[in-house]
Amino acid sequence: MADTLSSRMFVNTLGIPGILIMIWLGGLWFTIFTSVVMLLAIREFYQINSTQDSSPMLWLGWIATLGIVMMYDNSIALVDNYLIISIIGVVLVGMAVELFRVKPNPTRNISITFFGIFYVPILLGTLLSLRQMDTDYNSHLTFGLFISIWVCDSAAYLAGRKWGKKKICERISPKKTVVGCVAGFIGAGVVFSVMIATKVLGTQFGWIDVAMFTVISGVFGQMGDFAESLIKRDVSVKDSGSFLPGHGGVLDRFDSLLFASPLTFVYVQLFF
């Protein structure tokens, strides 16, 4: 237990400032950081779903991830023809390759491969567009998103451990409590409230936007955590990997952003 706690503290000490620096630098540095995260995360997703009965195509997932990075990094909208053409291309290539693979359960293989692409790079890649929006709008929403997710996670863990008794969804995540989830929501709200009050978030945002961002990070961010727990429970694993000592895998650390980032992106796209 002590070793695990020490490992978590070590990773946090290096990781949190490192991520904040990448966000601050933006541009190529943030693109490289996000790309590495997505490549590692989709690899973990395929690994935990690889069994004797299923063989997802990691190479196709990586190629699709890099293509999606290029689209988001160039601010190509989700409805743009480039994305539609790319999706068609990935589907056709995946189906064609599966014809010649000597693997059982081709439908399962293709389904896991395609779902991994939609689940990881298409959702998480929105971070690239959000960071570009910060540059365009002179805002710090990407900082707010990451920090609110971290505070939400920490508040939920500490409050749940101290006062939590009633489980919120024991079938999927036995340790999550109602008190913890409420504390996480409040924590996310505090982050955005402080940022708007100190005029750090961005002058174009108001208190209604703060409320929406709080719901996205504090509610849907936690739903992202539950969604990944559902996947892990389905394949009977505790962590998505062991890349981050004391934390598990990369996917474990970025699961909340898989929901929070695209929803934040869509909200800003629709209303700003």
- For residue 240, pLDDT over 90 is answered with yes
Give 218's contacts (C-beta < 8 A, 6+ positions apart): 148, 152, 184, 185, 186, 187, 188, 189
- For residue 3, pLDDT over 60 is answered with no
pLDDT of residue 53: 87
Residue 84's pLDDT band, with cuts at 50, 70 and 90, is confident
Residue 76's pLDDT band, with cuts at 50, 70 and 90, is low
pLDDT digits (tens, 9 = 90+) for 18-70: 999 999 999 999 999 999 999 999 999 999 999 888 999 999 999 999 999 98
For the chain, the average pLDDT equals 91
pLDDT digits (tens, 9 = 90+) for 90-110: 889 998 999 888 888 999 999
Distance CA 145, CA 165 (A): 28
Whether 227 and 263 have beta carbons less than 8 Å apart is answered as no
